[in-house]
């Protein structure tokens, strides 16, 4: 009776979880001069123009503005965005406000890798005024996220600002483009705190800090 040839066992496949992926974000090598190779890019999502300034959909813009004020950032025009280099704690970072409209946001960030990005945006699926940190995921109907994902993939950090769902009879478009309510406005400094925490301590630590129910 012939023996069947013995084959070596395959090593079990290791699946990288979102949480493990998050641990590796922003752990940068250093240049010879001591500075980091690459730096986090904080992208505040919104629409350009005065008519959109205080709308729910521009919550991300307001967080970028808040961080610029806190860290003496000066906005400089780029081709499809305004950028403000800042120091967040011991880390250099770039604040970015796309000057494209929301559904073309991806073109303003296409030069970056997803591991560089912290995207700050409004979120219909969270109660108004709630702030949460997340890595990866889908667009959830958000045109800005859909555009970013289409250009760089979805493995970037998100700081989400809850705006709640529209009341009966109000379309999503009208709702997100309407003036934000006080709860959302009050969440802007907390979202800025979350961005700072992500940069200083990483996404996993930020999720543990900000994703706890009150």
CA–CA gap between residue 145 and residue 50 (Å, rounded): 22
Nearest to 176 by CA among 44, 56, 47, 60: 56
The three state secondary structure string of the chain is CCCCCCCCCCCCCCCCCHHHHHHHCCCCCECCCCCECCCCEEEECCCCCHHHCCEHHHHHHHHHHHHHHHCCCCCEECCCEEEEEEEECCEEEEEEEECCCHHHCHHHHCCCCHHHEEEEEEECCCCCCCEEEEECCCCCCCHHHHHHHHHHCCCCEEEEEECCCCCCCCCHHHHHCCECCHHHHHHHHHHHHHHHHHHHHCHHHHHHHHCCCC
Token pair for 136: 């990866």
Query: For this structure, is 71 an active site residue?
Result: no
Annotated active-site positions, please?
57
């Amino acid at each position: 009776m012939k023996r069947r040839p013995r084959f070596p066992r395959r090593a079990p496949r290791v699946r990288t979880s979102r949480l493990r992926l998050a641990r590796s974000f922003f752990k940068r090598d250093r240049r010879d001069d001591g500075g980091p190779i690459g730096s986090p890019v904080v992208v505040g999502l919104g629409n350009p123009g005065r008519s959109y300034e205080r709308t729910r959909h521009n919550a991300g813009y307001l967080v970028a503005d808040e961080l610029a004020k806190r860290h003496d950032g000066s906005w400089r025009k780029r081709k499809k965005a305004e950028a403000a280099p800042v120091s967040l704690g011991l880390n250099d970072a770039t604040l970015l406000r796309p000057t494209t409209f929301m559904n073309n946001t991806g073109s303003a960030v296409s030069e970056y890798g997803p591991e560089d990005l912290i995207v700050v945006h409004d979120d219909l699926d969270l109660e108004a005024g709630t702030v949460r940190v997340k890595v990866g995921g889908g667009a959830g109907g958000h045109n800005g996220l859909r555009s970013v994902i289409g250009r760089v993939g979805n493995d970037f950090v998100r700081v989400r600002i809850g705006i709640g769902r529209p009341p009966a009879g109000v379309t999503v478009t009208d709702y997100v483009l309407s003036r934000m309510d006080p709860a959302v406005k009050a969440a802007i400094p907390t979202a800025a705190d979350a961005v700072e925490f992500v940069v200083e301590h990483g996404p996993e630590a930020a999720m543990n800090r900000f994703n706890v129910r009150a």
